[in-house]
């Protein structure tokens, strides 16, 4: 029987000496919650991205002056009258 492992990616985070207290707090949180450090870091990244990433692309909107809803018969009549296209 062959077991398949999920693809994993590695991310190395270097903690400067001046921020060593953050690493100690992270280790304590890991011990208290029972979650591995990598899970806590991934949750923090996910939360950060959720707060700082727009939910929808910022497209500009344009008013084409169209009033709707249109009915096929109305469009056909306007076309025959030369008002459209």
The pLDDT value given to residue 59: 72
Name the DSSP class of 56: S
pLDDT tens digit string along 10-37?
989 999 999 999 999 999 999 999 999 9
Evaluate the CA torsion angle 55, 60, 65, 70 in order and state its sign: negative
For residue 84, pLDDT beyond 60: no
**What distance, in Å, lies between the first and last C-alpha atoms of the chain?**
66
pLDDT confidence of 81, banded at 50, 70, 90? confident
Alpha helices in 1-85 (DSSP H): 20-33, 37-52, 72-80
Smallest CA-to-CA distance from 44 within 56, 36, 34 is with: 36
Instruction: Spell out the domain ranges in the chain.
Output: 16-57
pLDDT confidence of 83, banded at 50, 70, 90? low
Q: What percent of the chain lies above the pLDDT cut of 70? A: 84
Crossing angle of helices 37-52 and 20-33, in 10° steps, is: 110
Q: Are 25 and 33 in contact (CB under 8 A)?
A: no
């Amino acid at each position: 029987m062959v077991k398949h492992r999920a693809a994993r990616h590695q991310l190395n985070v270097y903690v400067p000496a001046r921020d060593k207290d953050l690493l100690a707090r992270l280790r304590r949180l890991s011990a208290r919650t029972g979650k591995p450090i990598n899970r806590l870091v991934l949750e923090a990244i996910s939360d950060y991205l959720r707060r700082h990433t727009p939910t929808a692309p910022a497209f500009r909107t344009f008013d084409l002056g169209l009033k709707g809803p249109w009915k096929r018969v109305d469009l056909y009549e306007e076309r025959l009258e030369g008002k459209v296209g």
